[in-house]
Amino acid sequence: MSIRPTGDLMRSHRTPTTNRSHRSHRSHRSHRPRTKAAGALAVGALVLAAACGNVYEASDKGNGGQANGTTGAGAGASGGGNPTGAVEKNKLKQKNPSTQPGVTDDTIRVGGVAATSNILKMPVDQAFNGVQAYFDMVNSEGGMYGRRLELVSKRDDQMFRNKEEAQGLVSQDNVFAVAPVATLLFTGAGVLADAKIPTFGWSINPDYGGPPNLYGDKGSFLCTSCGYPAQSFVARENGISKVGLITYGVDQSKECAVGMKAGFERHKVAEVVFTDDTVVFGNTDYGVQVQKMKAAGVQMVVTCMDSSGMINLAREISKQNADIIQYLQTGYDYDVLADYPKEFEGSIIMTQFVPLEFAQRPTGLDNYLKWIDKIPGAKKGEISLGGWLAADMLYRGIAMAGPDFTREKVISNLNQVTNWNADGITPGWDWTIVHEAPMPVSCQSFSKILDGKFVPQFTEPKKPFVCFNPDEPLPDEPRRKAGGE
């Protein structure tokens, strides 16, 4: 046996050719075989191309809504006469044997995924605490159909591994349902949709829209460009006549600005005098934007940005001592407020749940505040409340499905609920609509940041939500309502 330089090394001494005649001779010699080879390759490619086709999933072609037969009256639906998903607790005591995945003799296993270690450092793992608090409440009352609800899996998708973790929930954790999904990217939506597993989460991603088994706490269909009248109403009530719009230079953010601008133009309450839809994601310095807004007389700025962008903008507004408030569509976060009370002073935040500071709290919110305090390390706020709402949907779905509950029954029953409000926490979502379209009437609640606290605005006794029909002119006195009313 001998060790010798590889062919590569040996051949590199011989070739490439060292003189022109040799090269041209070689080139001439190899010309015809190369032509033939190219021809053969082309013919082969054509044959292979002809042998190719596509295979579509049922949910690939349509919008998913009815594609797999889990919505509507099929699969043992019985929720048609229960618009809010109300639960008769005395009926939860019956225990029947079950062969459903994730259901044992004494537990209903549930798993969740959150971007616990995300690069934005958002405390999204608080959604687990919300689910756990809800399960503790249910289990303290005897559980469901003779079984305890158990959160057996808390996966961390680290923001970038959502699909893998979703697959893990489906095929490794033996869970009946998925709750919560509290992730910044939801690339695993397809996996969960295809597995037809009931899935409930904190919805900030458009990926929830479509599949009938994915449920977001704000409805599954997120319409960023709808141009709701809410911000015009806020402007009017605050005596604001000039507004600014700032978005990132990416389409999703810009779509939001288009919707906002359309809303202002339609209701003619305030004029959009400054727009910047070219901000780079990750931008830290809004000096020029604030300077221009000051010059244009902007009184309120509407942003379609993440919390980091909102904070940096607020810091610059504060630094330039500009008399501009922000209209925030996300960010009901006590930690951010504690860090930047001065910067956000006077800003308005819109939520689609009853603010925790609302005086006449609905039952659902009282329960949340009572049980979330019992979880070590839990923080009150939008995200843990999102987990609570996810658990509430699951609970109602199982309850409506009856003692012989299955995944299909849970989905089909929930999809007939027309006013899900979690005992008054949300305005009321119609699951026959909001998988694929927005609610015809949109309801929100508003809080103003004053002295470092969220202070509910525009409310009436027991009625925290303000409702608008996007197709109608802005009313002088919009309808107020309680959650689920």
Partner 1 sequence: MTDLLTYILRGLPIGCVFGLLAVGIVLTYKTSGVLNLAFGAQAFVSGCIFYALRSEKYLGWGTFPSFVVAVLIVAPLLGLLLDIGLYRHLRTAPAVAKLVTSLGLLVAIPQVAKLFIGTASLSNPPGLASDTTVQLFGIDLSTNQIATMVITAVCVGGLLAMFRFSSIGLHMRAVVESPRLTELTGVNAARVGAISWMLSSAFAGLAGVLLAPLFSQLSEFDYFNLLVAALAAAAFGRLSSIGLAAVGGIALGVLQKLLAGYLPSGNVVSTGLQGSLPFLVLFLLLLFWPGLRKPREMADPLAAVDPPPPPPASTLRDRRLTIATYVLGTFVVGCGTILTFTTLDDFYLAIITKGVILSIVFLSITLITGIGGQLSLCQATFCGVGCFATAQLAAHTGMPVLVAAVLGAAIAAVLGALVALPALRLGGVYLALATLAFALMFETVIMPLDAVSGGSVPIKVPRPRFLGINFRDDRRFFLLCVASLILMSAIVLLVRSGTTGRILHALRTSETAAASIGINPARAKITVFALSAAIAGFGGGMLAIFERRVGRSFFQADLNYFYGLVWLVLVVTLGSRSISGAVNAGLSFLLFPRLLEALGLSQSTAQGVAFVLFGLGAVTYAKFPEGIIESQTRRVLLRLLPREAAR
- Residues numbered 87 to 116 that lie near partner 1 (CB under 8 A) are 116
Candidate residues 340, 375, 450, 462; the one interacting with partner 1 per rule CB under 8 A: 340
Say whether residue 377 binds partner 1 (CB under 8 A). Answer: no
Binding to partner 1 in span 17-56, by CB under 8 A: 17-18, 20, 23, 45, 48-49, 51-56
Q: Which of 153, 231, 289, 426 binds partner 1 (CB under 8 A)?
A: 289
Report in angstroms how near the CB of residue 180 gets to partner 1 at its nearest: 16
Q: Which of 420, 415, 432, 358 is nearest to 391 (CA)?
A: 420
Residue 429 DSSP code: B
* Ranges within 434-463 binding partner 1 (CB under 8 A): none
Query: CB-wise, 54 or 99, nearer to partner 1?
Result: 54
Candidates 265, 323, 339, 373; binder of partner 1 (CB under 8 A) is 339
Q: Which residues of 210-238 are buried (b: 16+ CB within 10 A; e: fewer)?
A: bbbbbbbbbbbbbbbbbbbbbbbbbbbeb
265 is an interface residue for partner 1 by CB under 8 A: no
CB of 130 to partner 1, least distance (A): 18
Cα 188 to Cα 115: distance, rounded to the nearest angstrom: 12
CA distance 398 to 87: 10
Does 251 contact partner 1 by CB under 8 A? yes
In angstroms, what is the minimal distance from the CB of 140 to partner 1? Answer: 29
Site for partner 1 in 178-207 (CB under 8 A): 185-187, 189-190, 194, 205-207
Residue 116: CB minimum distance to partner 1, A: 6
Q: Which of 57, 106, 323, 460 binds partner 1 (CB under 8 A)?
A: 57
What is the rounded CA–CA span in Å between residue 293 and residue 301?
9
Residue from 107, 238, 275, 330 that binds partner 1 (CB under 8 A)?
A: 275
Q: How many residues bind partner 1 (CB under 8 A)?
A: 94
CB 409 within 8 A of CB 98: no
207: which DSSP letter? G
Residue of 16, 33, 81, 377 interacting with partner 1 (CB under 8 A): 16
Which has the closest alpha carbon to 317: 352, 348, 296, 286? 286
Contact 175, 101 (CB under 8 A): yes
Toward partner 1, which CB reaches closer, 168 or 362? Answer: 168
Indicate if the alpha-carbon torsion angle 430, 434, 436, 441 is positive or negative. positive
Question: Please, what is the end-to-end C-alpha distance for the chain in angstroms?
Answer: 88
Rg from Cα positions in the chain? 28
Stretch that binds partner 1, among 76-84, 315-323, 349-357, 457-465 (CB under 8 A): 315-323
Q: Which of residues 124-163 bind partner 1 (CB under 8 A)?
A: 125, 155-156, 158-163
User: 107 - beta bridge partners?
Assistant: 148
